[in-house]
Each structure stands twice: as structure tokens, then as C-alpha cells.
Structure 1
Amino acid sequence: MYPNLYYVFKDLFGVEWNGLKLINSFGFFVAISFVVSAWVLTLELKRKQAAGILTYTEKTIVVGGPASVNELILNFILGFVLGFKIIGAFLIPAALSDPQAFILSAQGNWPLGIILGIVFAFLKWREKEKEKLAKPEKRIIRVWPQDRVGDIVIYAAIFGFAGAKIFNSLETWDDFVQDPIGSLISFSGLTFYGGLICATIALYYYTKKHKIPFIALCDAAAPALMLAYALGRIGCQVAGDGDWGILNSAYISNAEGKLVPATMEQFNRALQANQLYYSQQFSTFKIQHLSVQAFWGLPKWLFAYNYPHNVVNEGIHFANCTGNYCSFLPISVFPTPLYEIIMCLILFFVLWALRKKITTPGKLFAIYLILNGLERFLIEKIRVNTRYHFWGLQPTQAELISSALVIGGIILFIYSKKIKLKQYPAL
């Protein structure tokens, strides 16, 4: 596993650049997923524009004026954060030993932050002075939906992250009650469906404000959403963030942390030997496991993995390993993030192939909801997750939401022909 990019470069290139410890592998792939999905969304919005489905709005701007106070303050803040936290981290030894704690702390390089803040504010002021006119002018510009992709991504990121943390807190309520602040600001523990729901609500109000047909945006975003989820899951797999499957009792770890085939008797002995660890992990429900050995010549890691050096330090300790990330799982689990990467990439290409063939507004997004819900519902059958107990059932939060998405997708697919795509004229 590669908890952060330091370990990636050390393993692949043999270099030890301590500054890379600040870049978490999971966060890196989440950022990549946002960038790539924004590009895919832009392509779709441009296609819909060319097809006459989307049009522009007009906006009045003032050019040739001096830098505003808000612009100067914003640029000062950006420069301050860069100097205080990002560059300052390279100058504070403690930051590299525990990057997450440093980023969330009040530690940093104050002089460097203030200096860079002033520099950034000065550069903005000088830029505006060069463009300054004797008399500022009002100009009307056209703003197309693809011009707002940057704002859309920022809204999706902010409200998506907030929703993912809130829904994860509801799913792990006992841990949240013990440490509410720590649970909300930690980098671990994100629930995709919480992010999807909250980001969708926020973007609905954003599109209403800027007169973008919401259903058209949903259709355009359907392939991008599936691709973003697949790329984000790469981060889960690479970092080993605990989002893995149930036990695969066909393999156990030896003392060196290597997976070896196991009989049911050996599996039970390994379970007993690590009773304390597994009683903590499976305290609320029965330990689930399946015995599946690699077949058809496929690699073992496709069926079983023990996530060595995982970012959440789950499992037992490697001998002679010091510092963070020295743990591995004593019994293999199914690498469910890997399965979701494969399935969602396939589903992305399915949606991408259908996008030009389906012209009814809302129908492509309905298909996305159905495919997304089915994929997640199926993967939940072999995933470790908190289960609710009511009416004799034990569903997970994701199973409940994915079921609702499938039902909602079917309803939207049936009634999509009745949706009239409102064309907003340029203002």
C-alpha cells in the first residue's frame, strides 16, 4: 500500500522526498477524479450546446476598474495558506512525521505566510493597475454552461465532502458521539452516497440561479459521475483506507505478512489467534467470510488481499517495522475497491456510448441511477459495513440508498418522456 506519494516514489524510483508525505494517496486520486470528470463534463456540455440543447446567459461585468478589497483579501489568504501551511510544512520537521495532524493544527510558518500573502495581494493589485482604464466600462458577456464547470466542480467538492462526512457520521454513530469534532475534520470516513445527495441538492439550486436546465446537466454529468467514482476508488485501493470486503477464508497471512493458502481449520486458528482484533472489527454482527481461491490462472490479489502498510493501520504489526503504516490484515479480505474500479469503468463506457443515442431528457441520468444503485447494492454483499436492524432485516446504509436510487431511476426512466426541457433565452 501507498499511504502517501512519498512511498510511491520511494518504491518506484528509489527516491526519498519527504515533502511528498504531505500528499495523501487517497486525496491525490480524489483530486484526479475531479479534474478528469470536469473535463468529461465540459465535453458533454459543449456537445449539448452544439446540438442546441443548451444556450447561454448574459452577464454584465465592469472592466478597467481597480482591484477590489475582496480580490486583495482573497489573494492574501491564498498566499498566506501557501506559505503558512504548504511551504511551511517543509521547514517544520514535525509536519512530515504526521502530515494529517499538521494540516489540521494551528502550526505553520507565520512569517512566510504573511510575506507570501502580501506578495499575492500585490501581484493582483499590479495586474489590475495594468488593465486599468481612465473610465471603467460595463460590458455584456455571454456565459455558456461549460464556462461554469469550474464553479460546478467547486460546489460538488464542498457540498459533496460535507455530505460524505455527515452520512459517514450517521453510519458510525458511536464513534461520532465519542469524538464529534475529530470525526468531522478527519480525512478518513467518507460515504459516497452522502456526497452525491448533498452535492446534487446544492447543484440544483446553483442551476436554478444561473438558468441552466437541471435535467440537462444531470444527463451531461452521468458519465462523468461514474468515471469520478471509479477513479476515486483507485485511491481507496492504493491507500488501503479500510473500505474493503469481508474475509476470504481461503488465505491467511504468515509472519512476514505474505498471503498463503489456508484450510478451514487454519482459518479458524488464525481467527482465534487474532480474536481481540476481530472482536473489535465485528462487534455488532457476525463475522462474515467466504472461501474463494484464485481460479483460471488469475492472480491471487484479485480474490484476496491483506493490505500491507495500509493508511488506517488496521491489523497486526510487521516485525521490525517502525513509524506509521506498519500493519497488515492477518486474514485476507476481498479487494472490493478493485472490483468497483473495474465495474464502474465498464459502466462509464456504457454511458458514454449511450449518450448520443438517448435524446429524451432525463433518461440517461435514470440509467446512471439504476446502474450505480445495482453496482453498489451487489458490492455491499461482500463489503464490511455497519448494518441497521429493523423489521428483521439487516441492511447497510448503502443498500438502502442504492435501492432508492434504483427505484428512483426506474420511475425517472418511465416518466422521462413527460419532461419538457425548458429552453432559457439569453437575458
Structure 2
Amino acid sequence: MIPVIFEIGPLPVNSFGLMMACAFLSGIYLLANSFELEGIDPKISERFIFVAALSGLFGARLWFLIENYSLIDDNLFAAFFSSAGFVFYGGFLFATLCTYLLCLYHKIPFSRFCDAVGPTMALGYAIGRVGCQLSGDGDYGKVTDSIWGISYSTGVVPTPEGISVYPTPVFESIFACVITLILVKVEKSHAWRAVPWRRFGLYLLLISVERFLVEYIRVEQRYAYGLSSAQYVSALLMFSGLCMIVLKRVRS
């Protein structure tokens, strides 16, 4: 693990923060292209990426602290701004709300924005998971003695020495890259672009299936039917995405 990439004087540059910066810059480029295809002014893509990034990180951290409230001690500020512990769906929901308000401000139909943003979100997720892997921030999976096992003993949230676990950030990053390629391909299809919400529905379906499956090998608190909270959210988004694809196709 490489929690800190390098230092500038007394300031450490951690791997997760660096990957977030890479996701931010690549997101600006990719979203500008998607906006142009969608007929939205590409110059405002930076504004949307900035709002989505800040609100997404806030929501992801807030969800993590709600799920792990026992980690909050007397210093709430330090707990909130720790570099370890983010939940994707918390960031997704909060960023959705904030970008919806930004769409209202710019008078952009929310359906057009959502259809355009899918590839950017998938790529950002892929890069973000690289940051999780490099920092070893606790997003790894269950203990395993298989060839896939990796030790995170030097990570931000270390595993015990000599213990190997599933490197779920690696799996998720690979899956998210594949999803990005699929969405970029679909983005150029007139049949998919002609119907609002279908491309965003495909994004929801693919990313939620990926997360639902990976959760089986992650260390998470389980609830009814042995499912984690992320799997319940995944199932809801899976159903929503499928409805967007099927119902919009029928109506068209």
C-alpha cells in the first residue's frame, strides 16, 4: 500500500486525494464531450464536476459516519475529515440532489444531464477505487487464502500482519472501467440517445449489479436475508434502472 505518494515540505500528498484529483480532471474532459453530444454548453461542465465532487465526498463521508457512528469520538471535525471511510451511495444520493438544483439554475432538463453524466460517474468511480486500493482505507474484502488475496498491513486501515483479503477495490475498478466503455459506446448510438433516461437507466443497472455482487465478499454489517445496506440500495437502483430502460423503450 502507498497511503502517501510524496511530500511537499511538511504537507503529505496522499494517494486517495491524488486519485480524486485525477478523477476530477478526467471528469471535466469526459463530461464536456458528453454535454456537447447532448446539446448542453460544455463550458459549464467544470461547474457541475466541482459541485458533484464536493457534494459527493460530503455525502459519502456522512453516510459512512452514520453507518459507523461508534467511530465518532469527542472530535467530530477530525472524524468527518479523516481520509478513511467513504460510502459511494451516500455520495451518489447527495451529489444527485445538488446537481439537480444546479440543473434548475441553468434551466437544463435533468433527464438530459443524467443521460450525459453516466460515463463520467463510472470513470470517476474506477479512478476512486484505485485510490482506495493504494491507500488501503478499509474498503477491502473478506479474509481469503486464494491467489487473489492481498495484505493491507501497511494501509490506512491495516489488516493484521500475514492476513490476506479480497482486493475488492481492484475488482470494482476493473468492472467500472468496463462499464465506462459500454456507456461511451452507447452514448454514440442514436437509438439510445433518442429516448430520455435510458442511458442513465443503463448506468444505474450496471453499477448496481456490480456493487451488489462485490458486496458478497466485503466485510459489512448484514441485515435481513444476509444482505448489507449497500445491497438493499443496489437492488432499489437496479430495479429503477431496469424500469427506465424498459418503460422508456415501450413508450417510445
TM-score > 0.5 by shorter chain: yes
TM-score, length-normalised on structure 2? 0.92
Q: Distance in 1 between matches of 2:212 and 2:74?
A: 30
| 1:180 pairs with 2:83 | no
Q: Gaps spanning 5+ residues in structure 1: where? A: 7-16, 55-143, 251-291, 295-302, 317-328, 421-427
What's the CA shift for 1:419?
Answer: 8.2
Superposed, which structure 2 residues align to 1:283-294 within 5 Å?
292=146, 294=147
* Offset at residue 166 of structure 1 (A): 1.4
Counterpart of 1:36 in structure 2 is 26
CA RMSD of aligned residues (A): 2.0
Task: Describe how 1:212-227 pairs up with structure 2 within 5 A.
Answer: 212-227=108-123
1:238 pairs with 2:134: yes
Counterparts of 1:352-367 in structure 2, within 5 Å, are 352-357=184-189, 358-359=192-193, 360-367=195-202
Conserved? CA contact 1:164–1:193, under 8 Å? yes
SS of the aligned residue for 2:164 comes to: strand
Distance, in Å, in 1 between the alignment partners of 2:66 and 2:153 is 29
Hey, what does 1:375 align to over in structure 2? 210
Letter in 2 for 1:207: C
Structure 2 letter corresponding to 1:378: L
CA distance, structure 1, for counterparts of residue 140 and residue 179 of structure 2: 21
Please point out which of 6, 9, 12 is paired with 1:22.
12
* Cα-to-partner distance string for 1:48-94 (whole Å, 9 max, x where unaligned): 22xxxx4xxxxxxxxxxxxxxxxxxxxxxxxxxxxxxxxxxxxxxxx
How many residue pairs get aligned? The number is 249
Contact 2:111 2:196 (8 Å CA) reproduced: yes
Report SS of the residue matched to 1:23: strand
* Equivalences for residues 156-305 of structure 1 within 5 A: 156-176=52-72, 180-248=76-144, 250=145, 292=146, 294=147, 303-305=148-150
Distance 1:21 1:402 in 2: 38
CA displacement, residues 286-330 of structure 1 (integer Å, 9 cap, x when unaligned): xxxxxx3x3xxxxxxxx0100242123x244xxxxxxxxxxxx43
Letter paired with 1:395: L
Q: CA deviation at 1:414?
A: 2.4
C-alpha displacement of 1:178: 6.3
Q: Does 1:351 align with 2:183?
A: yes
Letter in 1 for 2:155: N
Return the structure number with greater helix share: 2
Please tell me whether residue 386 in structure 1 is matched to residue 218 in structure 2. Answer: no
- TM-fit CA distance, 1:174: 2.0
CA deviation after TM superposition for structure 1 residue 211, in Å: 0.6
Mapped to 1, the partners of 2:13 and 2:251 lie a distance apart of: 45
Q: Distance in 1 between matches of 2:187 and 2:10?
A: 39
Matched residues in 2 for 1:186 and 1:2: separation? Answer: 17
Q: Is 1:310 the counterpart of 2:206 in the alignment?
A: no
- Percent identical residues: 31
One-letter code of the match for 1:331? I
The answer to whether the 8 Å contact 1:230/1:341 transfers is: yes
Deviation readout 1:328-355 (Å, 9 max, x if unpaired) = x431001111111111111111111111
Whole-angstrom distance in 2 between the partners of 1:159 and 1:247: 33
Paired residues of 1:37 and 1:224 also in contact (CA < 8 A): yes
Q: Measure how far apart 1:159 and its partner are.
A: 1.2
Would you tell me which structure has more strand in proportion to its own residues? 1
Letter in 2 for 1:383: R
The answer to whether the Cα contact below 8 Å between 2:35 and 2:45 also exists between their aligned partners in 1 is no
Aligned to 2:4: 4
1:417–1:205 Cα change, 3 Å: farther
Q: TM-score, normalised by structure 1?
A: 0.55
Compute the displacement of 1:163 (Å). Answer: 0.7
Structure 2 Cα separation of the partners of residues 379 and 19 of structure 1: 39
Amino acid at match of 2:149: A
